[in-house]
Structure 1
Amino acid sequence: MTTIKEMGRFCPTDHNGNILNDASLQNINPGFMKVIEETVEHYKAHLKEDLHSIYIRGSIPRGLGIEGVSDLDTIALTNKTTHDMDLGWVEKSERFLNSKYKCVDGVEFSFYSIDEALKTNHFSIIPFMIKTHSVCVYGDDVSVYLPEYKADIKLGNEHLVNLKRQIDQAKEDLDGNDDREDIVDCCRWIMKIIVRAGLALVIEKEAKYTRDLYPAYRLFAKHYPGKEPEMRQALQYAVDPVENPVEILGFLEGMGCWLTGEAEEWLDIHNLKRER
């Protein structure tokens, strides 16, 4: 069993409460540089003139990457919409890089048009991630054109407005599933969502935000001590996912349903129309 590590931190903020980006090239462990460089080359070779810029997000550019454990999460901004591009090469490139580089647990490619990234008349997670959690490793950095973000109800809403749908989707994906790899991926995905949703419930009270799971769990437990064991279990599932769909479904029927109820009450106060 993987031991839960007491690591991670809340996002730094300025005197106005705006979230500061603590990702930088200088923070990246040199052991990750070769896989980053080759990932960039795959993007360039296949997208060519359709490629605008590439960003590394998550733990690695924040100096929290653990060799052999952390994923390499990337974002490519493109000059065309994804519907207008051939992305048939992506799975093959991910498979190749994952087999070649054991310093990361996996390489993830993702694509968003430059127009989509710069459309900020409503909250969207990709501009937020570029502005607050990513470093540009190729092309022109668009973060300077993006608005400031705070740890407030807009950010909390992002984690709660779709929570019921996401949990229902996980239940559907797990029901009758016998694909071990798929079950593990689903377990890790939905448990991360649950832990971050727990933080979102108290974001207005604390004015703190983090993508890191351990501090998110601790802040939730501060306000919901009676639910601390269940949220710790969600954290355990996120870092050490299980292959038993019945076990995961049982947890989602219990803690998942309770959390969904709390989210609905939160939304009744802050977002009655359930808008993004």
Structure 2
Amino acid sequence: MTTIKEIGRFCPTDHNGNILNDASLQNINPGFMKVIEETIQHYKTHLKEDLHSIYIRGSIPRGLGIEGVSDLDTITLTKRNIHDLDLGWVEKSEHYLNEEYRCVDGVEFSFYSVEEVLNTNHFSIIPFMIKTHSVCVYGEDVRVHLPEFKADITLGNAHLVNLKRQIDQAKEDLVGNDDEEDIVDCCRWIMKIIVRAGLALVIDKESKYTRDLYPAYTLFAKHYPGKETEMKQALHYAVNPVESRDEILAFLEGMGSWMINEADKWLDVHNPKKEWNL
């Protein structure tokens, strides 16, 4: 069992409140470099001239990666629409890298067209993640072409407007599911969403943001002390996911339903039309 560590930090900001990117190549633990290099090679081999750029996001480029615990999350921009690409190789590549490199908990491939990412008329989480939480490890860095982002209701909305759909999807995936690995993956995924949604509920009061789970939990608990125990349980599930679908479903029926209700109250104030992107 992984011990919950009091690690992580809120995003730094400039004097205007714009979120600063604290990811860099220099922050990456050398123990992760081999898997990063081979992941880049898989992208280059299969995408060839359709490859525009590759980014590493999350804890690893921020110097917070824990060997054997952290995921290697990648974002790749392509020159063509992803629906026009043959991505049949991805599952095999991910499986190979996950078996070959135990320094990470998993390697995640993701694909977006560069045209899609540079269209920033409305808020979108991928341009946000590239601008504020990622480092370019191959190709032309588009971060200079992306707008600044603040820890405000626009960002909070991205975490709350789809919360009910995400919790309902988790329930649907769990009911009747006997695949323990699938249940664990679902548990980790939905609990991270819940913890980050907890932070989003108070983002208009605090003007702070983090992708890191522990500080997100503490900021939520500051404003909702009566729900501190339940959110700490969500944090525990995110770090140490369980194989019991019934246990997860019971939590989602309780704390999950409460979170949906609170999200609806927040949206009634800040986004009554329930627009996906502000």
Measure, in 2, the Cα distance between the counterparts of 1:175 and 1:87.
29
Instruction: Return the offset for 1:2.
Output: 2.3
Q: How does 1:125-274 map to 2 (within 5 A)?
A: 125-274=125-274
Match in the other structure for 1:87: 87
1:5 is aligned to 5
3-state secondary structure, aligned to 1:150: coil
The C-alpha deviation readout for 1:202-261, integer Å capped at 9, x for no partner, is 001000000000000000000000000000000000000000000000000000000100
2:137 counterpart of 1:105: no
How far apart, CA to CA, are the structure 1 residues paired with 2:179 and 2:226? 34
For 2:242 and 2:234, locate their aligned partners in 1 and report how far apart those are by CA, in whole Å.
11
- Aligned residue pair count: 276
> How far apart, CA to CA, are the structure 2 residues paired with 1:17 and 1:241?
35
Q: Deviations for 1:93-149, whole angstroms, at most 9, x for unmatched residues?
A: 111111111111111100000011101000000000000000000000000000000
- Measure, in 2, the Cα distance between the counterparts of 1:65 and 1:175: 33
The structure 1 segments of at least 4 consecutive aligned residues displaced by more than 6 Å after TM superposition are none
Write the distance in 2 (CA, Å) between the matches of 1:102 and 1:254: 35
Provide the C-alpha distance between the structure 2 equivalents of 1:27 and 1:256, rounded to a whole number of angstroms: 35
CA distance in 2, matches of 1:96, 1:169: 28
Deviation, 1:82, is: 1.1
Deviations 1:58-112 (A, max 9, x none): 0000000001110000010000111100000001111111111111111110000
Equivalence for 1:119: 119
- Work out the CA distance in 1 between the residues paired with 2:156 and 2:41: 36
Q: What amino acid maps onto 2:207 in structure 1?
A: A
TM-score norm. by structure 1 comes to 0.99
User: Matched residues, percent identical?
Assistant: 83
Stretches of structure 1 lacking an aligned partner (at least 5 in a row): none
Letter in 1 for 2:180: R
- 1:20 shift after superposition: 0.1
